[in-house]
Structure 1
């Protein structure tokens, strides 16, 4: 699948090289070097995905990410950075990134991650029209909406897909591998703790209005949503 990409990176050597490698894979790529130009580019064009460096001059990648999500820009975003510590990864994911890749990155792996994220856009269309229930949780795949105890949940795309998968399998264990395949469309094990980070984000939103955390961690297996 050919994608129209925005690359936000101020590395004058590596950014053009990455853009050229992605173009050789059939994609088109626009490059900008700072956060302000990234915001202008997104306002002026539609991209299939964004590759966003974490460290940028002026407005850094986290600020760009938060601003985009605050403005309801739901374009898939992969953070690309030399910072590999778990704390930085979790901060990026908590700020709204869909995935997180540490430099130097293998272009083939980056392409696979991009393809998986963009394919996931049509995830809701593959579901049925049924409304799913588990305890006080209600999920409508076709409306892309979810409620707990009658209160609407403000979920991003990945969070919504994750919740829907857990609700579909309520009171049954769902493994990490199953979630990677069904929610992220990954057929490989990513180097990041992306599942754990999104489970954490989802737990926060599910308990925002009170109530117990309905997601149970099953050590060595995965997760189970109590119905």
Structure 2
């Protein structure tokens, strides 16, 4: 109930006023059944605007820190994410990746819409960064279609690092569903998983028009690497054999 109240009453009208969202390709999102929405990540506002324009409820895997805060702010954050139906995951520890994958599989088994950010974190400079293979493994193990979603302009409405939101124009573009059934049974093969996630990132690059960087965004943020531009490749259909 709270999800829909947030969407239509508490936040939706304000988001519409600030971002005047333009939507393309929404018909690619099925009206029922499990699906993964794979999106680039420019700002916190990405999740809000995606929820605003998609008719079905989207579930995200939210970091556990959102649910463990203290004081009034911690209570409100925990209440907000719980009320909105988001699922906490612990990103620390050796079993974190497998636990997140298991949680995501459970959500998809229930026929829900799962929102994921393959870059793993927000872009530090507006460019598109290398995708992590967790999404690929999930898609291969569940055989659920993946829909690429390009978020454009959210970093103008909600500038990273700023607590102030501004007026702008948000553009949300949905690509055609991506089917990886040709790789059935190959989950766990790191070469196949890399090929699958690179194909997803290629579609996101085409949809968003972003410059692609063949490095992880988290490494850039931590100062572990310098940006190197190398476009991702789309795996030819012939390679399926």
TM-score normalised by length of structure 1: 0.32
Query: More strand per residue: 1 or 2?
Result: 1
TM-score normalised by length of structure 2: 0.31
